[in-house]
Each structure stands twice: as C-alpha cells, then as structure tokens.
C-alpha cells in the first residue's frame, strides 16, 4: 500500500476548526471563469481558511471524505452541510454521473460557485435551478 506522506502529515497536523468562511461572501463578482471552479475553492481554503491544498482537484480529493458516507446506513437525522464542505455539482443535466464542478458551502442554506462570466455567485440549496445538480458533499478529513 502506498501512503501519501502529505496526506499523513495533513491528518496528523490538522486540528481545530477552520476560521469562518463568511469573508468569501465579499468575493461575489470576483472574476473567475466557469472552468476555474476548483481554483476558486482552492483559493478560498488558502486565503480565508489558511489551508494549502493541492492545486490539482483530483489530488486534492484525497484530503476529503464524502458526507454522509453512502456506505453507512442512512442517519436518523437529515444531513446538513457545514461551512467549508464542498458541494459537488453535476455539470451536464443529461449525464448524471458527470461531477466536475466543486462549490464551497457557506452555511446550511448557501454555497458559492463560479458562474460563466459573472465570477463568484452565491446560490441557495433550495434554489430549484441548481439543487437538482447536487451530486454529493465532501468534507475535509479530520474535521
């Protein structure tokens, strides 16, 4: 078994909560292209959270775990996303397995994402235009 030394150190050194994600609300309109979705999440973790994650989205996923874990029985209480979770959105309606658009959870009701030429926008989880696209939530390990 190959053990990623960066991941091992991350788990060992990672302690305590991240600071408030609220400053990201001031990023609304900040220019990011639609294809810069991971760059936005990555930048937020660095600039607001003080946490350096890998630049590459696929490498960074090793630092997260899916919540709730689909391999476990369904919890009795409904899942509520937490600040700093990452909501993974389907990018194309007709291909439901394609998940390539990470977004950042602000609180249990809202998330931030890159959107076309608008830069950063805030959406609500109950917005019917986007909530059907949510495929999964991931959370930093050891959090």
List the domain boundaries for the chain. Answer: 20-69+79-140
Nearest to 114 by CA among 122, 124, 106: 122
Distance CA 115, CA 122 (A): 10
Q: Tell me the CATH number for domain 20-69+79-140.
A: 3.90.1720.10
Adjacent-strand bridge partners of 67: 137
C-alpha gyration radius of the chain: 15
Averaged pLDDT score across all residues of the chain: 82
Any idea which of 17-26, 88-97, 131-140 has the lowest mean pLDDT? 88-97
Q: What is the pLDDT of residue 43?
A: 95
Residue 128: how many CB atoms within 10 A of its CB? 7
Calpha distance 122→105 (Å, rounded): 10
pTM of the model: 0.83
- 1 pLDDT band, cuts 50/70/90, is very low
């Amino acid at each position: 078994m190959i053990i990623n030394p960066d991941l091992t150190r991350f788990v060992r050194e990672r302690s305590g909560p991240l600071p408030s994600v609220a400053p990201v609300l001031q990023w609304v309109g900040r220019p990011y292209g639609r294809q810069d979705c991971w760059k936005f999440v990555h930048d937020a973790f660095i600039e607001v959270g003080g946490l350096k994650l890998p630049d590459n989205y696929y490498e960074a996923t090793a630092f997260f775990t899916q919540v709730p874990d689909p391999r476990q029985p369904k919890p009795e209480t409904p899942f509520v996303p937490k600040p700093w979770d990452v909501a993974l959105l389907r990018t194309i309606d007709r291909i439901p397995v394609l998940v390539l658009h990470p977004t950042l959870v602000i609180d249990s009701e809202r998330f931030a994402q890159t959107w076309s030429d608008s830069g950063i926008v805030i959406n609500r989880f109950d917005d019917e235009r986007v909530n059907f696209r949510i495929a999964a939530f991931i959370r930093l390990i050891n959090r």
